[in-house]
Structure 1
Amino acid sequence: MSKARLVITAVIVEGRSQAEVARAYGVSKGWVSKLIARYRAEGEAAFEPRSRRPKISPNAIEADTVELITRLRKELSDQGLDAGADTIAWHLAHHHQIRVSRATISRYLTRHGLVTPAPKKRPRSSYLRFEAELPNETWQADFTHYRLADGTDTEILTWLDDHSRYALHVSAWTRVTDPIVRDTFRRAVRLHGVPASTLTDNGMVFTTRLSGGRGGRNAFEHELRRLHITQKNSTPNHPTTCGKVERFQQTMKKWLRAQPDQPTTLAQLQTLIDRFTHAYNHTRPHRSLPHRATPATVYTARPKALPAGSRTADTHTRVRHDRIDDSGVVTLRSGGRLHHIGIGRTHARTHVIMLIEDLHIRVVNAATGELLRDLILDPSRDYQPQSKNPPTP
Structure 2
Amino acid sequence: MSHANACLTPAGRLRLAQLVVDKGWTLRRVAERWNCSVTTVKRWVDRYRAHGRAGLVDRSSRPRVSPRRTPTRVERRVVGLRVSRRWGPARIAYRLRMNVSTVHKILRRYSCPPLAWTDPATGVRIKGMRRNVNAYTHEAPGDLVHVDIKKLGRIPDGGGHKVLGRARGKRDRHRGMGYWYIHNAVDDHTRLGYSELLTDERKETAAGFWLRANAYFNAVGITVKRVLTDNGSCYRSRLFANALGEDIAHKRTRPYRPQTNGKVERFNRTMLEEWAYARPYTSETQRTALFADWLHTYNHHRGHTALGGMSPADLVPNLRGQNS
TM-score by length of 1: 0.61
Shift of the alpha carbon at 1:54? 1.8
- Report the AA paired with residue 229 of structure 2: T
**Separation (CA, whole Å) in 1 of partners of 2:23 and 2:304:** 69
- Report the AA paired with residue 92 of structure 1: L
2:288 is equivalent to residue 299 of structure 1:
no
2:140 is matched with which residue: 133, 149, 156?
133
2:286 is equivalent to residue 286 of structure 1:
no
2:241 is equivalent to residue 221 of structure 1:
yes
- Report the AA paired with residue 288 of structure 1: A
**Equivalent position of 2:114 in the other structure:** 116
2:36 is matched with which residue: 10, 27, 37?
27
- Report the AA paired with residue 133 of structure 1: A
Kept in 1: contact 2:145–2:188 (CA 8 A): yes
**Separation (CA, whole Å) in 2 of partners of 1:51 and 1:248:** 46
**Equivalent position of 1:107 in the other structure:** 105
Kept in 2: contact 1:10–1:21 (CA 8 A): yes
**Equivalent position of 2:166 in the other structure:** none
Kept in 2: contact 1:137–1:195 (CA 8 A): yes
More strand by share: 1
2:18 is matched with which residue: 5, 12, 19?
12
Name segments (4+ residues, structure 1) moved above 6 Å.
120-124
Structure 1 residues 177, 263: closer, same or farther in 2, change over 3 A? Answer: farther
Shift of the alpha carbon at 1:234? 1.7
1:260 is matched with which residue: 274, 279, 287?
279
Question: Which structure would you say has the larger RCO, counting Cα contacts within 8 Å and 6 or more residues apart?
Answer: 2
2:230 is equivalent to residue 205 of structure 1:
no
Kept in 2: contact 1:148–1:262 (CA 8 A): no
Shift of the alpha carbon at 1:121? 7.7
2:290 is matched with which residue: 272, 280, 288?
272
- Report the AA paired with residue 217 of structure 2: H
The percentage of counterpart residues that share the same residue type is 24
1:169 is matched with which residue: 169, 188, 195?
195
Shift of the alpha carbon at 1:115? 4.2
Q: Number of matched residues?
A: 276
Kept in 2: contact 1:10–1:16 (CA 8 A): no
**Equivalent position of 2:52 in the other structure:** 43
* Superposition map of 1:47-58 within 5 A: 47-58=56-67
Kept in 2: contact 1:158–1:171 (CA 8 A): no
2:82 is equivalent to residue 73 of structure 1:
yes
* Structure 2: segments with no counterpart, 5+ residues: 117-127, 161-170, 172-176, 320-324
Shift of the alpha carbon at 1:298? 1.9
- Report the AA paired with residue 258 of structure 2: P
Secondary structure at the residue paired with 1:86?
helix
- Report the AA paired with residue 23 of structure 2: G
* Superposition map of 1:271-350 within 5 A: 271-289=289-307, 292-300=309-317
User: RMSD over aligned Cα, in angstroms?
Assistant: 3.1
**Separation (CA, whole Å) in 2 of partners of 1:121 and 1:23:** 57
Q: Deviations over 1:101-151 (max 9, x none)?
A: 222222112111124398x98998x755132513x3322111223333443
**Separation (CA, whole Å) in 2 of partners of 1:148 and 1:21:** 81
1:85 is matched with which residue: 71, 86, 89?
89
**Separation (CA, whole Å) in 2 of partners of 1:101 and 1:191:** 35
**Equivalent position of 1:236 in the other structure:** 255
Shift of the alpha carbon at 1:230? 0.9
**Separation (CA, whole Å) in 1 of partners of 2:188 and 2:215:** 18
Secondary structure at the residue paired with 2:149?
strand
Kept in 2: contact 1:140–1:162 (CA 8 A): yes
Structure 1 residues 34, 138: closer, same or farther in 2, change over 3 A? Answer: same
Kept in 2: contact 1:158–1:167 (CA 8 A): yes
**Equivalent position of 2:224 in the other structure:** 195
2:165 is equivalent to residue 142 of structure 1:
no
Secondary structure at the residue paired with 1:205?
coil
**Separation (CA, whole Å) in 2 of partners of 1:198 and 1:261:** 35
**Separation (CA, whole Å) in 1 of partners of 2:186 and 2:138:** 12
Secondary structure at the residue paired with 1:250?
helix
**Equivalent position of 1:327 in the other structure:** none
**Separation (CA, whole Å) in 2 of partners of 1:264 and 1:158:** 23
- Report the AA paired with residue 232 of structure 1: K
- Report the AA paired with residue 189 of structure 2: H
Shift of the alpha carbon at 1:50? 1.6
**Equivalent position of 1:354 in the other structure:** none
**Separation (CA, whole Å) in 1 of partners of 2:228 and 2:79:** 39
Kept in 1: contact 2:134–2:262 (CA 8 A): no
Shift of the alpha carbon at 1:245? 0.9
**Separation (CA, whole Å) in 2 of partners of 1:33 and 1:171:** 77
Structure 1 residues 128, 90: closer, same or farther in 2, change over 3 A? Answer: closer
